[in-house]
Amino acid sequence: MKIERIDPEENLSELVELAKVEYGDAEIANPDYLRWQYLDNPAGKAIVVVARSQKDELAGQYVVIPTEFRIHGELQKGSVSLNTLTHPDYRGQGLFTKMANETYAVCEREGLHLTLGFPNKNSYPGFVRKLQFRHIGNAAVMFRPLGIFSLAGSLPAMNKAAKYAPSDMDGAPVANFFLHSGALDISPLDFQDEWAAYDELVNTVELPRYTVHKSAAFCSWRFQKVPTRRYQSFQARDRDGMKAACVIRQRKVKGIECIFFVDFIMDGGPDGIAAGKSLLKAVLQRYRKSGVALAGMMVNRSTDLHRLARSAWFREMPSQLLPHDAPVIVRRNGTAISESIFDVADWALSFGDYDVF
């Protein structure tokens, strides 16, 4: 068995076919989606290491995508682990570990100092026991009901419904959504058109020690250019500029119409927190009126955003009621990053860091 790094652009069709074996026609096997994820990322092409059999077949893949992190206020290169799989015919041969070790040797050589991951329950043991990842904690996943009657009407069908499904209302336009609230204007946000104002907000917000750096270029790629999903973005501005922004993904979970705040950012000063509160209230009202039953958010405890979410009646969901666990795992590639990386309290995390959302 040969373990080698391949160019995802030159080998995209092979990677699509391998994904189809495991996932059928799911998003991860869609060539447009993989081209977006592996090739169009503004931080660089995916690092893809494969196992190739003597028959020249792909027996497995290990993938990380380059990602910019803000670490102690400075930008550093890192990566996010995703799309790991082994062909059913070649399982039990230790390929997962061999491919991963080669991947992280590449990461260390190329200066990708850390890797962030959100494994499912099947891959979690391998990451933690064999690949030097540490489970730093579970993300705080919070929900609040928006429509009691809509929620109650969905409950009888929950047991038979798919874990995730497209929203029945996902096509609702936002282009005409404008709201004037005191000194604030709340409106849709286009990351390409308003990149300068958004980057100014991102670069002035005080965040915990570690976070994915979500620049306007990143958000444009991640939320606007993805070919298989629909996100909706909003902003709150006053006369001095953008004070808060958020990104929404609408989908059904166990038959319940939900919105997820996949990203939420606000200036940490009093005006920014007030803007965040107004933005959150306006967005919740908009989706409640359209029939959405439940809103969700992933956010660190002991932060301004966590306190804001609690003030808006978001509460942490017991893990047994979640569609799946939300463990956060981190790996150091070399020693350039300090041990504090393994303290979840030092991270700013959101659904937007997690490729499933």
Q: List, for residues 206-229, the tens digit of each pLDDT value.
A: 777 899 999 999 999 999 999 999
pTM: 0.93
For the chain, the average pLDDT equals: 90
The helix (run of H) or strand (run of E) holding residue 241 is strand 241-253
Taking the C-alpha atoms of 354, 177, 314 and 327 in order, what is their torsion angle to the nearest 10 degrees? 0
Residue 87: exposure state from Cβ atoms within 10 A (0-12, 13-18, ≥19): middle
Using DSSP bridges, classify how beta strands 141-145 and 294-298 pair: parallel, antiparallel or unpaired: antiparallel
Q: Is the pLDDT of residue 156 over 60?
A: no
pLDDT for res 157: 59
291 — pLDDT class (breaks 50, 70, 90): confident
- Three-state DSSP state, 215: coil
